[in-house]
Chain A
């Protein structure tokens, strides 16, 4: 496996970082990753990341939850054992529906919320014993790190990054872990 090289440019201010991202994008370099200690508003737009589709997923999970609730109660309360419980009409689902709405609502929310969170964990590869992918521990406190892959253009990249206000520019040999 060949070892690829990356440049780590470290910043101490999110405004400077934003301008640096714009400058790097303007020079048409590909930004591998950016590590920040907190959400930087507008960073995804500046990097040109695609919008998330997690809301759409959540909507579909909600529909699943609604279907589960409806099918479950229709089977239990109407089809399997239609008892007369306190005079509530159990002849058809629609006749007794108001009584089921609280459960239908809650299961919709339950499915939409929990499956969305699990989707988020899966898509962003997060689990309890995962090894932290952190190139520099300072990025969890007060530093911002931009990672750019190097393809024989170290010089230009270093000068460019130095002009954008980076406090450190390091070239790192990255062992390919895959």
Chain B
């Protein structure tokens, strides 16, 4: 049995407290008045070049306003109505920026919550695949995977709660289609409101979470029952529900990605988006399995896990990184090539306002793991796998960041206190929940029909 070390427990609490403080700070500083935002914009206009892309972009729009203002002065006598239009435009711009600033702590919280939820979900899918394929190498890692998926229930509920709260408590800070005023003036969203409405969103979310958690609870229950059973009945049951879950999962994961991620840009759609999100969550999930196995092994709890298991996990990290990149490129290239205005805006905003994270993530998620994890020998060296894994996790955080942020905060993005604290908060919660779950059952699944093979697995 694993005992949750006090040091790690304290560490997770420290992360959570630190994260909560930072998240609180983010919310406190995001409510700017109209005049505040005007002052910020004027300030940025004067510091034009110094703040890089973001400020430069703001400066351009602000300069445009300045010219509008002088024009207004000229036109004041003759074109009264035009002046009103310009003032209106200025007001609209400031309100737009004000809303973006208010969105930032919401979006930061949502990105981090989703990122950790998707790790647990990816592990659950991987776990189900291991059962359904009756793989012989992984049973010694089953308890680690079950521990990680314990985060799914709280994690997914938090994601759904933040999403719904952003449209009820907040001022439609993540999903614009929740705002009845926006929908009233938007024919496109009106056409989609049969799917995109808050009640439907919440109920669908609960169904997804319900299905996933149900599978998680039962597979865990049967897996533990198998430890002391006299026959393989529990094994067969888990095999069957795993196969059924995988069918359910592929449908719900796809719909989840439309609901929870794609609908932040309700004017945009992509058919392979669900697969794309799936590839990202698989790679993160497998990386975290490798991390936690290595941690537990270094503490002497998993003596049966050898470097061949690590090698297999690293191969999956490598393979799914390439799979992710394949889907990323397929989505990007099809849209770039055809260049249909209604689709291509998605990438134009990202390339213009998010150049570094957008292309940087390709280096983190494809080039780096591709070159580092290609060599067979390196895949068996723990620190090498950990290093590659850290880069992969950072890369996929940036990936989620790139999916959510452009639609919520636009060019007002930055990875600062709200973003980092949200990551710390959920990292702390994740560590606490996962390691707490690991103490609940022996770390070796006994009497699993494949566990002997897994113990002696070598490559």
Q: How far is the CA of A87 from the CA of B329 in the complex (A)?
A: 20
Which B residues lie within 8 Å of A59 (CB)?
A: 374
> Does A101 contact B333, Cβ atoms closer than 8 Å?
yes
Q: Measured between C-beta atoms, what is the minimum distance from B325 to chain A in Å? A: 11
Which A residues lie within 8 Å of B67 (CB)?
A: none
Q: Is A152 positioned at the interface, with any CB of B under 8 Å from its CB?
A: no
Which A residues lie within 8 Å of B374 (CB)?
A: 59
> Does A98 contact B376, Cβ atoms closer than 8 Å?
no
Which A residues lie within 8 Å of B333 (CB)?
A: 98-99, 101
Q: For chain A, residues 92 to 110, give those with C-beta under 8 angstroms from any C-beta of chain B.
A: 98-99, 101
Closest partner residue, chain A, to B333 (CB atom): A98
Q: Is A55 positioned at the interface, with any CB of B under 8 Å from its CB?
A: yes
Closest partner residue, chain B, to A87 (CB atom): B339
Which A residues lie within 8 Å of B376 (CB)?
A: 55
Q: Number of contact residues on B: which range applies?
A: under 10
Q: How far is the CA of A99 from the CA of B337 in the complex (A)?
A: 7
- C-beta contact mask, B70-111 vs A, less than 8 Å → 1, else 0? 000000000000000000000000000000000000000000
Closest partner residue, chain B, to A102 (CB atom): B333
> Does B337 contact A98, Cβ atoms closer than 8 Å?
yes
> Does A98 contact B339, Cβ atoms closer than 8 Å?
no
Q: Measured between C-beta atoms, what is the minimum distance from B367 to chain A in Å? A: 13
Q: How far is the CA of A2 from the CA of B421 in the complex (A)?
A: 81
Q: For chain A, residues 67 to 111, give those with C-beta under 8 angstroms from any C-beta of chain B.
A: 87, 98-99, 101
> Does B329 contact A101, Cβ atoms closer than 8 Å?
yes
Q: How far is the CA of A55 from the CA of B374 in the complex (A)?
A: 10
Q: How far is the CA of A43 from the CA of B376 in the complex (A)?
A: 20
Q: Measured between C-beta atoms, what is the minimum distance from A44 to chain B in Å? A: 15
Which B residues lie within 8 Å of A87 (CB)?
A: 339
- C-beta contact mask, B313-333 vs A, less than 8 Å → 1, else 0? 000000000000000010011
Q: Is B126 positioned at the interface, with any CB of A under 8 Å from its CB?
A: no
Q: Is B222 positioned at the interface, with any CB of A under 8 Å from its CB?
A: no
Q: Is B336 positioned at the interface, with any CB of A under 8 Å from its CB?
A: yes
Closest partner residue, chain A, to B326 (CB atom): A105
Which B residues lie within 8 Å of A101 (CB)?
A: 329, 333
Q: Measured between C-beta atoms, what is the minimum distance from B363 to chain A in Å? A: 15
Q: Measured between C-beta atoms, what is the minimum distance from B324 to chain A in Å? A: 15
Q: Measured between C-beta atoms, what is the minimum distance from A106 to chain B in Å? A: 13
Q: How far is the CA of A2 from the CA of B217 in the complex (A)?
A: 77
Q: How far is the CA of A59 from the CA of B329 in the complex (A)?
A: 22
Q: Measured between C-beta atoms, what is the minimum distance from A49 to chain B in Å? A: 17
A-binding residues in B (CB < 8 A): 329, 332-333, 336-337, 339, 374, 376
12 contacts between A and B (CB under 8 A): A55-B376, A59-B374, A87-B339, A98-B329, A98-B332, A98-B333, A98-B336, A98-B337, A99-B333, A99-B337, A101-B329, A101-B333
B-binding residues in A (CB < 8 A): 55, 59, 87, 98-99, 101
Beyond A59-B374, A99-B337, A101-B333, 9 additional contacts (C-beta under 8 Å) are A55-B376, A87-B339, A98-B329, A98-B332, A98-B333, A98-B336, A98-B337, A99-B333, A101-B329
Ranked nearest first, the 7 interchain pairs of A and B with the lowest CB-CB distance are A98-B333, A98-B336, A99-B337, A101-B329, A98-B337, A101-B333, A98-B332
